[in-house]
A and B are shown apart, each in its own frame.
Chain A
C-alpha cells in the first residue's frame, strides 16, 4: 500500500523553529543596509518538523521503481546494479569533507585516485589521455567536440560540419551545434549499420568529425568501423565515439584500435555509479595523443614532489565546470573498477551481451525485430506485430509496470517506428530475465485477447496514466502560496 503525501509546502505550521546549529546569539542585528536585505523573509518556505520531513521523503521514495527495486531494462542507460559499498567509499570523510582548494600536498590520496582512474579508463578504451572533468555524458560530448574544434583551428580552420547517423542520440547534434557546427545526417544501411562507402562519399574537407555510437543505438556493432574511420581520416576529419554503449565493448574491442580519436565515457552507465533519478553522472573524455594538448584545464601532472594540478596548457579548450569534476562519482566508479579488475570488467561485458541475446532469442517472433544483425548488449524490437490489435509501444511499456518491471526505452532510436529498446545488463540473473520474458509474452497474448486491458494500463500503480498534454498546455511548474482565502 502506498500512502499519499502532499507537497512539503502544504505541510507544517507557522512558527516551527527549524533545524538548529550552535552559535546562534539570537541577535537579529546585522549590518546590511535595508535596500540589500531579503525582501520577503523567505515567506513560502516550509516550517516542518524532522519526523514529518523524513516521512515525507520516505513515502515519496516508495512511489518510485528503481534499479534496486526491479529490472530496469532502459535501453542505452545501462541500469546495472549500483554496488552499495561504493556509497560508503564516497562518504569517507577524507573524500567527502575534502575542500577542492586545499594545497595539492594535502590531497594526494584524491589526486592518486584521479590518476589511477584516468589510467584505468585509458586501458579500457585504448586511447592515450583522459580528462575526468566533464560532469555528464552530454558535457563530455561537448568537451570532446570542443577538442575536435581546437584541433582543426590549430590547423587553420575549425571546419563547418559534423556527420551524425540518423540513429544517434539527440545530444550528439545538440553538442555539435553548441560547438558551432552544422549537422549532416549519415544514412544507415538495411542492416542498420554504417557503410564505409557511404561515409566516404559524403566525406570532404569541410567535415570536422564523424560522431558515431558503437555499438549503435540499435545495439549493433559497427562492423565497418575501421574502414569508416579511414574514410574520415583520409579527408583530415576526426572520429568521435559516443561511449554511452561502452558496456558492450570492454574486453571485446577498444575504440582506440578501431580508429576512434576522441570519446566520452558515461561512468553512471558502464561503471555503475547510481543514476540518482537523473544525475549526478560523470562524462570523462579520452583522446588520442595528438589531441592531449586540448583537454580541459587544469590537468593532473606528476613531478618530483608528487601529483599536482597544472593550468599550464595554452592550447586547452578551457574549463567546462568548476573545480575537478564530479569527484564523488569518480570515487564510486574507481571502486567498481577495482572490485572487478581487468578480467572482471571483460566478464561483465560478456555477460551483458549474453543477457541481451538471451532476451532477444526468447522474444523474437512474438515481438518484431526490425534489424536482425547480431546484437551486443541491447536489442531493439518494434510494436509491428501488435499494431493489428491497436496496441502500441507505449501500451506495452505501461503494462510492464503492472508486472512490476520498469519499461524499456521507447520510441528511440527514431529510425525504428515504435521502438522498444531493451538493455538488461549483466547483473540480472537468468531467473529475473525469465520473469521479464514471461511478462512480455503475456502482454503480447493479452494484446490479442484483451487489448483494452493493455491500452488502459497501468492498472496497479499508485496513479494511472498522466495527462502530459494538460501539463504542457497549461504549465504549472511550482507551488505557489494561495492568494485567495479558503472558502468556509
Chain B
C-alpha cells in the first residue's frame, strides 16, 4: 500500500497535493483497495465553494458508496472529467490519473486537520486493527 510522503491526508482517506495556491485531491491507495472496483465517481461542478470537511461527491463501488470530503477550504477550479467514463482509473492510479478535483485553496492548510504521511500510516494501521 502506497502512502506518498509529499501528500497530506484526511482521516476519511482523501489526499491533498499542494501546488502553489492550488490543491489536487483524490482518494488514497488504502481507500481504493478497501472499496474494491470503483464503478462511478460523482464530482461537483467547477466553481463550487467548499469548506474543509464538507462532502464534495461520492465514490461508488459495486457494493458500497462513500462520501468524499474536502480536506481544506477552497473553490473547485477543475474536475477529472475522465472518471465519468473510466472510473477504474481510481483503482489503477489513485495518486495520479485517478485525481478527482482541483481547488483554489482559500483556507489555511497548516491549521486544517490534516495528517502527514506518518500520521496517516498510523491511522490506517489503527483502522485495520479494528
Contact = CB atoms under 8 A, between A and B. Distances in A.
Interface of A: 411, 468-469, 472-473
A473 B87 contact: yes
A468 B36 CA distance: 12
Contacts of B40: 472-473
B128 interface: no
12 contacts: A411-B63, A468-B62, A469-B37, A469-B39, A469-B62, A472-B39, A472-B40, A473-B37, A473-B39, A473-B40, A473-B87, A473-B88
Contacts of B62: 468-469, 472
Nearest to B37: A469
Nearest to A474: B85
Interface string B48-88: 00000000000010110000000000000000000000011
A472 B60 CA distance: 10
Contacts of B88: 473
A468 B38 CA distance: 11
Of B39, B62, B63, B88, chain A has the most CB atoms within 10 Å of the CB of B39
Nearest to B88: A473
Nearest to B63: A411
Contacts of A411: 63
A469 B39 CA distance: 7
A274 to B, nearest CB: 28
B42 to A, nearest CB: 13
A359 B87 CA distance: 43
B39 to A, nearest CB: 4
A94 to B, nearest CB: 47
A472 B65 CA distance: 13
A360 to B, nearest CB: 27
Contacts of A469: 37, 39, 62
A468 B87 CA distance: 14
A394 to B, nearest CB: 10
Contacts of A472: 39-40, 60, 62
Nearest to B36: A469
A285 B39 CA distance: 38
A472 B59 CA distance: 13
A96 B87 CA distance: 49
Contacts of A468: 62
Nearest to A473: B39
B81 to A, nearest CB: 16
A411 B62 CA distance: 13
Nearest to A472: B39
A361 B31 CA distance: 39
A468 B64 CA distance: 13
A28 B39 CA distance: 49
Interface string B12-35: 000000000000000000000000
B46 to A, nearest CB: 24
Return the 8 tightest CB-CB contacts between A and B, nearest first. A472-B39, A469-B37, A473-B39, A468-B62, A472-B62, A469-B62, A473-B87, A469-B39
A414 to B, nearest CB: 10
A473 B37 CA distance: 9
A389 B21 CA distance: 50
